[in-house]
Amino acid sequence: MDDTVTDGEVRRRVENFLGGRPIPAPGDEDGRLTFLRARFDAGLAWVHHPVGLGGLAGPRELQPLVDALFAAAGAPDNTPRRIGIGLGMAAPTILRHGTAAQRERFLRPLWTGEQIWCQLFSEPGAGSDLAAVATRAVRDGDGWLVGGQKVWTSMAHRARWGILLARTDPDVPKHRGMTYFVCDMHAPGVEVRPLRQLTGEAEFNEVFLTEVRLGDELRLGEVGQGWAVAQTTLMNERVAIGGAPVPREGGLVGILADAWREHPELRTPALHDELLRLWVRAEAARLTGVRLRQQLAAGQPGPEGSAVKLSFATLAQQLSSLEVELLGEAGLRHDSWEFSRPDVVDFTGRGATYRYLRARGNSIEGGTSEILRNIIAERVLGLPAEPRVDLDLAWKDLPR
C-alpha cells in the first residue's frame, strides 16, 4: 500500500481530473463511457487497486471519499447495481488469482460497465453443496471443452462473461478436482433460458453449456485449484450482498419507517414494538457492516462475512413482511405480474409486494442461510464440524 495516497492527495487528484474534462450531459452515453474510462486510467476507480488497474495502491477506506467527490460534482457513475456481480465477485477474484494479462483484459471494461458478468456456480444437483458440481471441463488441445448445466444465474441474459466452476478431475475428492474459468457467454454452445420468479420477472436463468470451447487463457488459477479460487469469490460475494454501505435508516428499514410516518391510521402498539425491534437490528447490522469493511481494508474478507449476509437475509424478509402488514390491503397490490427480464434488482424503486416476494430469495442467493450457519458455527465460533463421510471419496464414486 502506498502511504503517500492520503485524503488530501486524493482530493487533489480528483480536483485535477474534474478540472481537465467536462462532465458529460445526461443521456450522452458515449461521453459517459469516455469519462469512466478516463477515471479508471487515472486510478480513481478502485483506489486500493494497483496502479494501472484502476487504482493508486492506496488504502481502501478512501474509496467512499472518491465516490462522494465525483457524485458532488455531478459526474456519472458506473451504475453499480447493474454490474454488482462483476464488481463484488469477479473483480476481486481476478485481481487476486488472475494473470497480468487477465487483469489487463477484464478489469477496465468490468468497472466501466461495458461488460456485464454473471456467476456460473450453482447446479440442479449442487446448490448448497457447491463442491459437488458436475459440469465438466475436458482438455482439448490448447483449450477446454465444457459441458453441463448451471442454475439460478442472475443476469445471465445480459452478461458478456461468466465466472465458471467446473470439474476437471472426477477421480479425486470433490474439493480437489475443480478448476475455475472465465466463460464467454457469447460462445457457441451457451444457451440461456429464463426462470420466472414469484415476482413475475426472470432475473434468474438456467444456463446450458454444450461443448463450449474455452481457451486456456480463460482459466483463472491453477488446474485443480478451483475450490480455493471460488472461496475468494464467495467471501467477497457475501460482503457485497450483506455488507454494502448504507446510511443510517437507509435501505428497507428506511422505506418501512417512511411508511410508518405516512400512515398513522395503520399504527398499532404491536406494530410499533416490532418496528422498533427491527430498526435496532438494522442499525446493529449496519454498524457491523462498517466494521467488516474496515477489516476488509486490511486484507481479504473472512468467514465473518457469512454472518453479515445471514443477518441481511433475515432482516430483509422481516422488514418486507412488516411493511406488507403495515400497509394492509395496499400492501398486497403487486405493481406488475407481467413477464420481464430486468437489468437490475431494484428493491427501493418497486412496491411493497415486490419487496416481500423478492426477499424470499435473499436466504438462498450468496449461500443458503443453513450453509452460512454451519460456516459461522465451525469457522467463527469454533464448534465441532458436522460429520462428513465424503471428503476422501473420489467425486465419481459419490452417490447422486
Q: In the block, which residue shows the cell 485481481?
A: 95
The model's pLDDT over 204-220, given as tens digits with 9 standing for 90+, comes to 999 999 999 999 999 99
CB 153 within 8 A of CB 118: yes
The three cell numbers locating residue 272: 410499533
Going by pLDDT thresholds of 50, 70 and 90, the confidence category of residue 184 is very high
The predicted-structure confidence for 30-55, as pLDDT tens digits, reads as follows: 999 999 999 999 999 999 999 999 99
**Averaged pLDDT for residues 99-106:** 98
How many CB atoms within 10 Å of residue 378?
A: 14
- State mean pLDDT over 356-364: 88
Q: Which position among 201, 203, 206, 237 bears the catalytic label?
A: 237
Residue 42 has which C-alpha cell?
487515472
Q: What pLDDT is stored for residue 286 in this prediction?
A: 84
Contacts of 156 (CB under 8 A, 6+ apart): 118, 120, 162, 185, 192, 205, 207
Cell for 207?
444456463
Average pLDDT in the 62-68 region? 93
| 342 pLDDT tier (thresholds 50, 70, 90) | confident
Per-residue b or e along 300-313, where b marks 16 or more CB atoms closer than 10 Å to that residue's CB: ebebbbbbbbbbbb
User: What residues form DSSP beta bridges with 138?
Assistant: 145
pLDDT at 120 over 80: yes
Can you tell me the distance from the alpha carbon of 304 to that of 294, in angstroms, rounded to the nearest whole number? Answer: 12
CA pair distance 149, 48, nearest whole angstrom: 36
Q: What is the residue-averaged pLDDT of the chain? A: 90
Place of cell 437490528: 281
Q: Known catalytic residue: 237? A: yes
| Average pLDDT, integer, range 293-321 | 76
pLDDT tier, 319 (very low <50, low <70, confident <90, very high otherwise): very high
Per cent of the chain over pLDDT 70 is 94
Give the mean pLDDT of 288-309.
Answer: 68
Averaged pLDDT for residues 26-30: 94
Q: Is 28 helix (H, G, I), strand (E, B) or coil?
A: coil
Q: What is the 8-class DSSP label of residue 55?
A: B
pTM: 0.88
Which residues share a beta bridge with 193? 206
Residues forming a β-bridge with 208: 149, 191
Question: Which residues share a beta bridge with 137?
Answer: 146
